[in-house]
Structure 1
Amino acid sequence: MIDDAAVRQTDPARRDGTGSERQDFPETYRRELPLLTRFIMKHGASPQEAADAAHEAFATAYPQWSTIRYPARWLRTVAVRVYLRARLREDLPGELPTTRAESHVPTNIQLSDQEREVYTALADLPSRQRQVMAWFYDGYTIAEIADELGITKESVRQNLCRARATLKARRSQRGGVR
């Protein structure tokens, strides 16, 4: 199982090229794919939907890789948009052909029971709170989140506070704090 926080702490170059050197595409793909997939799952996606969105984000990035200044942030932004567009298409009336294939699910992502509970709880949050929490859980600062989502820092703080309160209340309703 890959721990997002552990990767961030052990790899100073992981955060968007702010470390000593920027990684090439294959290295970034290997390192970021499981993290990006989990990030999309924090937005309420199933593992398959998250994997599809992550792969599409990387496919979009590849032709322009040398021009992307902050790869981890760029990939997260694109992958979320891909996921939300796919969800919107699913909500349209009528049947659309599906192009998702089970073979895209990364095999190195294994979720613990606690992680499944977290993803389920996040999926129940309102959209903006879920977005803010996903970025926050991935280690981004309030300023970075505000910049990426195009909202004020105060709005980020407010959504974080509300999401935490909702998650805490739901956890206590389930049977207390662990």
Structure 2
Amino acid sequence: MSDQEPLETKAPAPPSAPFRESSGEEEAFAAFYRSFLPTLVGFLIWQGAGASLAADLAQESMIKAWRGWSTIRSPRAWVRRVSSRELVRHYSRVEEDPVNPVPDGANANALISRPQELAEWENGQEILGLLESLPPRQRQVLAWSVDGYSPSEIAEELGIDPATVRANLMKARHSVASRMKARGEEE
């Protein structure tokens, strides 16, 4: 090759998708997705999200989980944490309510496929009404607690002090109990 001949260059290879060792990972994620998605949607609803928003945030969290599936050690806690943070971000971006809000049941939601699940969800609306007046942090720790996490586990997942979690749980439970008692006396 002489100094006058042009050097051959190759075009860079296009970026490839992350390498997956086996379809076992895909099957494991698919099973996790199918079994846990309804639970995740419910978890977000307990924190105050409407059904449509909860379904969207759950779906986005599952996409993020798939992208990092091989590195996630506790997928249930991981997607709860990610979706919970996304819900907080969503609320921080909202500046005002729409003039004519669209009711949650206006469009059929593919993530709530069985009508009996929807009926059960509707039966839980009374308790959601009680929870609606709680501050966001109290709703958040209560949702984690209802899903079976201890105060120390919740504190670790949310990056706050366990004493703060216990205090918020106590305040939330006391507030809900007081409201339930007041409703019972009114009827």
The CA distance in 2 between the partners of 1:46 and 1:79, in whole Å, is 14
Aligned to 1:107: 113
Cα distance change on mapping 1:155 and 1:62 into 2, 3 Å: same
Aligned to 1:172: 181
The CA distance in 1 between the partners of 2:179 and 2:52, in whole Å, is 26
Aligned to 1:58: 62
The Cα of 1:85 is off from its aligned counterpart by 2.2
Aligned to 1:28: 32
TM-score w.r.t. the length of structure 1 is 0.75
Residues 134-163 of structure 1, C-alpha deviations (whole Å, 9 max, x = no match): 000000011100101112211111111111
The CA distance in 1 between the partners of 2:139 and 2:121, in whole Å, is 20
Aligned to 1:7: none
Please point out which of 138, 150, 154 is paired with 1:145: 154
TM-score w.r.t. the length of structure 2 is 0.72
Aligned to 2:18: none
Computing the radius of gyration from Cα coordinates, the structure with the larger value is: 2
Cα distance change on mapping 1:161 and 1:80 into 2, 3 Å: same
User: Are 1:128 and 2:137 matched, yes or no?
Assistant: yes
Which shows bigger deviation, 112-121 or 66-75? 112-121
Report the aligned-residue RMSD. Answer: 2.2
The CA distance in 2 between the partners of 1:91 and 1:73, in whole Å, is 29
Q: RCO greater where, 1 or 2, for CA within 8 Å and sep 6 or more?
A: 1
Sequence identity percentage: 39
The CA distance in 2 between the partners of 1:168 and 1:47, in whole Å, is 25
The CA distance in 2 between the partners of 1:170 and 1:26, in whole Å, is 41
Structure 1: unaligned runs, 5 residues or longer = 1-22, 95-100
